[in-house]
C-alpha cells in the first residue's frame, strides 16, 4: 500500500528533482534542504548567512546530491530570480520551492510598532513569498508542474499577544497560498502552507532578546504547557511534513495550511502531563 512504503522507497521521492529553499542556512529551512536532498533532490539554497550556507553545501555534498548556494536577502527580488535561473541553468528544471526565509521581528503592544517595522516585516515575510510564488510558475510549467510550500506559522492562524506584525504577515502568507493554489491548479502546480508550532531555532531565541530572560522563560513554559504533546517541535519534524506536502504523495492536496504544532492549536491550555481523567 502506498502509505505503508518503507524508508528505502521513500528515499527516492525527489530523485531527479530540483528544489529551491530560502532561509536554508538554519533551523527549519536547513532541515528541509537536508531532508529533500536525502530523498534525492538537488537544492538551490538561499540565505543571508554565508557560513551557514557553506556548512549546508558540505553536508549535502556528503550525501552525493548537489547544492547550489546564493547568498543575499530575499528582500532583493533579483535574488529570487537568480535562484530560479540557477536551478534552471544548473539542474535544467524547477520542481519545488520552499519559501521559508522569515524573521520574528519586534514584539510589543499593537500601537508601538513603527512604519519601518511594518515595511521590514512585509518585505521579508510576505513580499518575498509573493514574488517567489509568482516567479516560479513559468519554470515549473516548463518542468511539467511543481509544488510550492510557503512556511507560515500557527501565528498566522491564531493571534499571539504582542506579536501583531509577525502574525499579520503569516496570515497573509496563508491567503497568498489559497489564491495561488486556485490560479495554479490548472498548471499542475500545487501550493500549500506549513504552519509550524514552536520549534527552538535561532528565530525563537530572538524572543529572549525581545522579552528579557524572565519573560522569555515564562513564555517558554507556557508554550510547552499549551502544547498537547508537552514539548517543542524539532526542525526535522517540520521538514518531514514539508517533504510530504512537496512530494507526489500529496498529489491531491493543494491550498491547505497544515498545522504541525503538537496539538497547540486545539489545546485547552491544560498541562499535557496531567493524568487523564477517569472514565
Ligand atoms: N521556530 C519556530 O518556532 C517557528 C514557528 C512558526 C513558524 N516559523 C517560521 O519558519 C521559518 C524558518 O524559521 P526558523 O525557526 O527556522 O528560523 P531561523 O532563524 O533558524 O532560520 C531562518 C533563516 O532565514 C534566514 N533569513 C532571514 N532573513 C532573511 C532574508 N531577508 N533573506 C534571506 N534569508 C533570510 C536566516 O539567515 C536563517 O538562516 C520562518 O519563516 C519562521 O517564521 C518558525
Whether 47 is in the pocket of ligand 1, judged by its Cβ within 6 Å, is: yes
**What is the reported pLDDT for 205?**
80
Return d(Cα 54, Cα 43) in angstroms, integer. 13
Low-confidence ranges of the chain (pLDDT < 70): 1-10, 271-279
**What is the reported pLDDT for 273?**
56
**What is the reported pLDDT for 276?**
55
- pLDDT digit string, tens, across residues 121-141: 999 999 999 999 999 999 999
**Residue that the C-alpha cell 520574528 belongs to:** 104
**In the numeric block, which cell numbers belong to residue 99?**
519559501
**184 part of the active site:** no
pTM: 0.94
Q: Are 147 and 172 in contact (CB under 8 A)?
A: no
Distance from the alpha carbon of residue 177 to the mean position of ligand 1, in angstroms: 18
Residue nearest to atom 24 of ligand 1 (CA): 23
Distance from the alpha carbon of residue 110 to the mean position of ligand 1, in angstroms: 22
Whether 143 is in the pocket of ligand 1, judged by its Cβ within 6 Å, is: no
Whether 28 is in the pocket of ligand 1, judged by its Cβ within 6 Å, is: yes
Q: Which of 233, 232, 146, 158 is nearest to 192 (CA)?
A: 146
Planar angle of CA 153, 131, 159, nearest 5 degrees: 20
Q: In the CATH scheme, what architecture does the domain 2-200+235-262 have?
A: 3-Layer(aba) Sandwich (3.40)
**What is the reported pLDDT for 7?**
58
Q: Which of 142, 29, 20, 7 is nearest to 81 (CA)?
A: 20
Whether 27 is in the pocket of ligand 1, judged by its Cβ within 6 Å, is: yes
**Ligand 1 pocket, mutate which of 24, 25, 27 (most atoms under 8 A from CB):** 27
Q: Which of 69, 4, 77 is nearest to 30 (CA)?
A: 69
Q: Where are the domains of the chain?
A: 2-200+235-262
**Max alpha carbon distance in the chain (Å)?**
62
- pLDDT digit string, tens, across residues 215-239: 889 989 989 999 999 999 999 999 9
Amino acid at each position: 500500500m502506498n502509505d505503508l512504503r518503507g524508508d528505502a522507497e521513500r528515499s527516492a521521492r525527489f530523485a531527479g528533482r530540483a528544489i529551491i529553499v530560502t532561509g536554508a542556512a538554519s533551523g527549519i529551512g536547513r532541515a528541509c534542504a537536508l531532508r529533500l536532498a536525502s530523498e534525492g533532490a538537488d537544492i538551490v539554497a538561499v540565505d543571508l548567512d554565508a557560513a551557514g550556507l557553506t556548512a549546508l553545501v558540505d553536508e549535502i555534498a556528503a550525501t552525493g546530491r548537489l547544492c547550489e548556494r546564493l547568498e543575499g536577502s530575499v528582500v532583493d527580488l533579483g535574488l529570487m530570480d537568480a535562484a530560479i535561473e540557477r536551478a534552471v541553468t544548473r539542474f535544467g528544471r524547477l520542481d519545488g520551492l520552499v519559501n521559508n526565509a522569515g524573521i520574528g521581528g519586534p514584539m510589543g503592544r499593537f500601537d508601538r510598532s513603527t512604519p519601518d517595522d511594518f515595511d521590514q516585516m512585509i518585505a521579508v515575510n510576505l513580499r518575498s513569498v509573493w514574488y517567489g510564488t509568482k516567479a516560479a510558475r513559468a519554470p515549473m510549467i516548463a518542468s511539467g508542474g511543481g509544488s510550492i510550500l510557503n512556511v507560515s506559522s500557527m501565528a498566522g492562524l491564531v493571534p499571539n499577544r504582542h506579536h501583531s506584525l509577525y502574525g499579520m504577515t503569516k496570515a497573509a502568507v496563508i491567503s497568498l497560498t489559497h489564491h495561488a493554489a486556485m490560479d495554479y491548479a490548472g498548471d499542475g502546480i500545487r501550493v500549500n502552507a506549513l504552519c509550524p508550532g514552536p520549534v527552538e531555532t535561532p528565530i525563537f531565541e530572538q524572543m529572549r532578546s525581545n522579552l528579557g530572560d524572565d519573560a522569555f522563560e515564562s513564555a517558554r513554559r507556557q508554550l510547552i504547557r499549551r502544547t498537547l504533546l508537552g514539548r517543542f517541535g524539532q526542525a526535522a519534524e517540520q521538514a518531514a511534513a514539508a517533504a510530504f506536502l512537496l512530494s507526489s504523495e500529496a498529489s491531491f492536496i493543494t491550498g491547505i495550511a497544515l498545522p504541525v504544532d503538537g496539538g497547540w492549536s486545539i489545546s485547552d491550555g491544560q498541562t499535557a502531563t496531567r493524568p487523564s481523567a477517569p472514565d
